[in-house]
Amino acid sequence: MTSEAIVTGGAGFIGANIVKALLERGFKVHVFDNLSTGNLDNLPLDKINFCNIDLKQNYKDWPTIEASCIYHLAANADVRGGINDHNIDLKENLLVTKNACDFSLKNNIKKFVFASSATVYGEPNIFPTPEECTSNQTSLYGASKMSSEAFIQAYSNYKYFQSTIFRFVSWIGYGYSHGVIYDFVKKLLNDPSKLEILGNGKQIKSYLDVRDGVKGVINISELHDQNSSVFNLGHFQTMNVRNLADIVCDEMNLNKVEYHFTGGERGWVGDSPLVHLDTQKANKYGWEPEISIEDSIRTTVRYLLSEDSKRFR
C-alpha cells in the first residue's frame, strides 16, 4: 500500500524540496499551501495533489486526507516580519500550527514533523548551542516557533501523534528564495559597484545546504521512535557575513565592490550576532552535513543567476 504524506507549505523553498524527496521514496504527496510566498512552478503538479488553502481557516474545513505523516512547514518564514506586524507570527505560525495539530488528530495522522528554527534560542549563552539550552528570546518569530513546539509536544504527550521537531539554521541552495544571499545578489544585480551590508558584517552564522537538510529531516524523522523529540539541524562550520559577501561577489565575478556597513552587532532588531547549533543528537542518527558552507553559497548564487530562479523573480 502506498504511504501518503501531507506537506504544508510545500510550494515554498524547503517544502518543495521535501515534496520531491518524498515522491522519490514512493509517497503519495498532498500539498497544502496558499501560495503567499510559495510558487506552483516549484512543484511537479502532475505527480502530487495540490490544495490551494489558507491554513488559518478552521481545520475542520481542510481537505480530509488519510495520511500517515504530516510535514508542517507553512509559516511566515521572515524573521523580521514581526517587527512591524506584531500579529503575523501569532496568526501564520502559532495559529496555523495549532490547526495542523487539530487536523492531524481529527484525521488520525500518527506522525507530525515540524520546521522550527534556531531562533527559538534567541541569544543563548552556550555555543555550539545544544537542544537543552535555555532560551533568551529576541524575536516574535522565535517566540512563535517556541510556542508552536510546546503545543506539538503537549499533543504528543496526550499520545495523539508522535512528533519530530527540527530547529533549522538558515537553509540555502536550489530553490532558495529569501535571506541574506538573495538580498546580496539582488542588490549587486541592481548596482555591481557597491553593497550595503546590515550590521558590522561580523555576525557569525551557520548555513545548511538544502540537500543535506532534506536528508536530515526525512531520515531522522523516519528513524526516531520517541514520543516527541527535538533535533538541531545545522552545520559544524560557521561563516561571518563579510566573508559570505566576499564569496557572493567572487561567484558573480565582481572584484571591486565597495562595502557599506549599516553598523552595530546585529543586522536588525532581533537578529542574533552568533548562530551555531550543536548537532550531536542528529549525528547519532547517522546524519551530518556533507556540503561545505562555501560550496553551498556558490551553488546558491549560481541558482539565483540561473533561468530557473528568474522564473520566480
Backbone torsion region of residue 103, taken as left when φ is above 0, otherwise alpha when ψ lies between -120 and 50, otherwise beta: alpha
Q: Does 96 bind ligand NAD (CB under 6 A)?
A: yes
Q: Which positions from 165 through 224 interact with ligand NAD, judged by CB under 6 A?
A: 168, 170-171, 177
- We find the least distance from the C-beta atom of residue 94 to ligand NAD, in angstroms, to be 12
Q: Does 54 bind ligand NAD (CB under 6 A)?
A: yes
Vertex 274: Cα angle to 269 and 276 (nearest 5): 135
Beta bridge partners of 69: 5, 111
Q: Which residues contact 303 (CB under 8 A, 6 or more apart)?
A: 173, 174, 175, 176, 309
Q: Does 92 bind ligand NAD (CB under 6 A)?
A: yes
Question: Which of 6, 19, 30, 34 lies at the binding interface for ligand NAD (CB under 6 A)?
Answer: 34
Helix H, strand E, coil C: the string for 201-262 is: CCCEECEEEHHHHHHHHHHHHHHCCCCEEEEEECCCCCEEHHHHHHHHHHHCCCCCCEEEEC
- We find the least distance from the C-beta atom of residue 77 to ligand NAD, in angstroms, to be 3
CB count in 10 Å sphere of residue 108: 11
DSSP single-letter state for residue 178: S
Q: Nearer to ligand NAD by C-beta: 248 or 257? A: 248
Q: Does 33 bind ligand NAD (CB under 6 A)?
A: yes
Q: Which positions from 63 through 82 interact with ligand NAD, judged by CB under 6 A?
A: 73-75, 77
Q: Nearer to ligand NAD by C-beta: 11 or 247? A: 11
Q: Which positions from 107 through 146 interact with ligand NAD, judged by CB under 6 A?
A: 115, 117
Q: Nearer to ligand NAD by C-beta: 9 or 82? A: 9
Q: Does 12 bind ligand NAD (CB under 6 A)?
A: yes
* Burial class, 184, CB count within 10 angstroms (exposed 0-12 / middle 13-18 / buried 19+): buried
Q: Does 36 bind ligand NAD (CB under 6 A)?
A: yes
Question: What is the number of alpha carbons within 13 Å of residue 264 lying toward its C-beta?
Answer: 10
- We find the least distance from the C-beta atom of residue 227 to ligand NAD, in angstroms, to be 22
Q: Which stretch binds ligand NAD (CB under 6 A): 51-59, 122-130, 153-161, 243-251?
A: 51-59
Judged by the rule CB under 6 A, the positions of this chain that interact with ligand NAD are: 9, 11-15, 33-38, 54-56, 73-75, 77, 92, 96, 115, 117, 168, 170-171, 177
